């Protein structure tokens, strides 16, 4: 066991990070330091959203790809993205860390620096924690509670034939950044590295989609466009047809891919952790949606349509040829 006991460690990493006054205003009756945290019960007009997402060293990150504070930041950001994908507002987080000997107190402090930076940015109160030792590789599990108007959470099973498929930002940037970091390429565009290390969950877009009621189905792109589209297709019992010419590819990614001999489309479709939102919308709302997103400064791309048929996902190339799209998701360090 590391020298500090469990509470000593959790205290050293969390104490005084968020003011008591702010916590009380956020609905926290009792935070870190007892058997359980206590939070306000809510009202019958709201429902609670609960997400839990875990990052494992050697599976999701390496020393070469993420700093300690990046790991903490992203562990929370990935959970915020899950709440955003339901149209909710993130609220309370609990953090469990399993700490191997290589992660000393100084490194863990940096991890929590990053986690609290993200928490403060998205107004999330960190209310609980658990820390254990581990034989090797760090594991960070985060649970996040968010709230949503009762009955309004945007699910992934609402896609219907005739709807359009949309994306709230370009994808593949995180995978591009990872490629550069793994291959020790010094000149990675900052936007790619940042997309991988400090992703921005789409809370604003999610709230807008819930409030307007425009999103019939919604997922966050944590595991790649292909995988998320498949999830919507299977949950909704429909076929999604994506159009290659409509897929947004950022300039930075395009130049980086060209320079390093990568197919950008691979990153755009199969790269994960961009944390933009993928969803479907009734055609009648498309115009108002584009207009409103432009005014709010949130990107919006229509990238395909929903068809009846065997659940699945296909992609149409510029030449009009349609081929089925693999279900496979994002695998950080695969050699395949």
Annotated binding site: 35, 53, 60, 82, 129-130, 156, 220, 222-223, 273, 330
Residue 63 is a binding residue for its own copies (CB under 8 A): no
Structural contact between residues 60 and 44, judged by C-beta atoms closer than 8 angstroms = no
Which DSSP state fits 227?
Answer: H
Q: What is the C-alpha separation between 269 and 82, in angstroms, rounded?
A: 19
Cα distances from 316 to residues 13, 187, 247, 250, 321, in angstroms, run 50, 33, 11, 20, 5
The reply to whether 43 sits near its own copies by the rule CB under 8 A is: yes
Cα 325 to Cα 215: distance, rounded to the nearest angstrom: 23
Cα radius of gyration (the chain): 20
Binding mask 248-287 for its own copies (x = CB under 8 A): ----------------------------------------
Tokens standing for 177?
């950044």
Instruction: State the nearest-atom distance from the C-beta of 305 to its own copies, in Å.
Output: 22
Q: What angle do CA 120, 123, 125 make, to 5 degrees?
A: 85
Quote the least distance from Cβ 242 to its own copies, whole Å: 19
Cβ(233)–Cβ(292) under 8 Å? no
Check binding of 33 to its own copies (CB under 8 A).
yes
Return the number of other C-beta atoms located less than 10 Å from residue 277's C-beta.
28
Among 26, 56, 254, 298, which residue interacts with its own copies (rule: CB under 8 A)? 56
Q: How far is the CB of 265 from its own copies (least distance, A)?
A: 21
Residues numbered 161-190 forming contacts with its own copies, rule: CB under 8 A: none
Q: What is the DSSP string of 166-184?
A: EESS--SHHHHHHHHHHTT
What are the start-end ranges of the H helices in 85-188? 105-121, 173-182
Nearest-approach distance from CB 85 to its own copies, in angstroms: 4
User: Judged by CB under 8 A, which of 10, 23, 39, 268 binds its own copies?
Assistant: 39
Which residues line the annotated binding site for ATP? 129-130, 156, 222
Q: Is 192 left (phi over 0), alpha (psi -120 to 50) or beta?
A: alpha
Task: Compute the least distance from the CB of residue 185 to its own copies, in Å.
Answer: 25
Quick one: 41 or 320, whose CB is closer to its own copies? 41
Q: Is 136 in the site for its own copies (CB under 8 A)?
A: yes
Is the CB of 73 or the CB of 92 nearer to its own copies?
Answer: 92
Question: Binding-site residues for Mg(2+), please?
Answer: 35, 53, 82, 130, 220, 223
Residues within window 142-161 making contact with its own copies, judged by CB under 8 A: 143-148, 150-151, 153, 155-157
- Residues 196 to 225 in contact with its own copies, rule: CB under 8 A: 219-220, 223
Rule CB under 8 A: is residue 47 a binding residue for its own copies? yes
């Amino acid at each position: 066991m590391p020298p500090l006991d469990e509470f000593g460690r959790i205290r050293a990493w969390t104490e005084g990070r968020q003011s008591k006054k702010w916590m009380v205003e956020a609905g926290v009756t009792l935070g870190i330091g007892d058997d359980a945290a206590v939070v306000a019960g809510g009202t019958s007009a709201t429902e609670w959203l609960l997400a839990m997402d875990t990052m494992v060293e050697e599976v999701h990150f390496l020393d070469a790809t993420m700093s300690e504070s990046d790991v903490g930041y992203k562990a929370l950001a990935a959970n915020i993205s899950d709440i955003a994908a339901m149209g909710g507002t993130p609220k309370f987080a609990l953090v469990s860390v399993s700490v191997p000997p290589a992660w000393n107190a100084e490194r863990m402090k940096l991890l929590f620096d990053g986690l609290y930076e993200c928490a403060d940015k998205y107004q999330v109160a960190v209310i609980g924690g658990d820390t254990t030792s581990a034989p090797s590789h760090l594991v960070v599990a985060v649970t996040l509670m968010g709230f949503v108007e009762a009955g309004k959470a945007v699910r992934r099973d609402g896609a219907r034939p005739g709807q359009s498929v949309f994306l709230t930002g370009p994808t593949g940037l995180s995978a591009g950044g990872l490629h550069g970091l793994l291959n020790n390429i010094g000149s990675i565009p900052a936007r790619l590295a940042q997309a991988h290390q400090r992703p921005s969950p789409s809370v604003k877009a999610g709230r807008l989609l819930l409030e307007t009621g425009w999103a019939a189905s919604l997922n966050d792109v944590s595991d790649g466009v292909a995988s998320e589209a498949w999830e919507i297709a299977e949950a909704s019992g429909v076929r999604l047809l994506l159009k290659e010419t409509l897929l947004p590819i950022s300039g930075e990614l395009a130049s980086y891919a060209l320079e390093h001999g990568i197919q950008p489309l691979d990153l755009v479709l199969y790269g994960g952790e961009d944390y933009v939102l993928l969803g479907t919308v009734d055609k009648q709302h498309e115009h108002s949606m584009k207009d409103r997103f432009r005014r709010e400064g949130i990107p919006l791309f229509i990238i395909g349509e929903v068809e009846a048929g065997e659940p699945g996902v296909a992609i149409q190339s510029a030449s009009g040829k349609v081929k089925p799209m693999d279900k496979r998701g994002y695998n950080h360090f695969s050699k395949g």
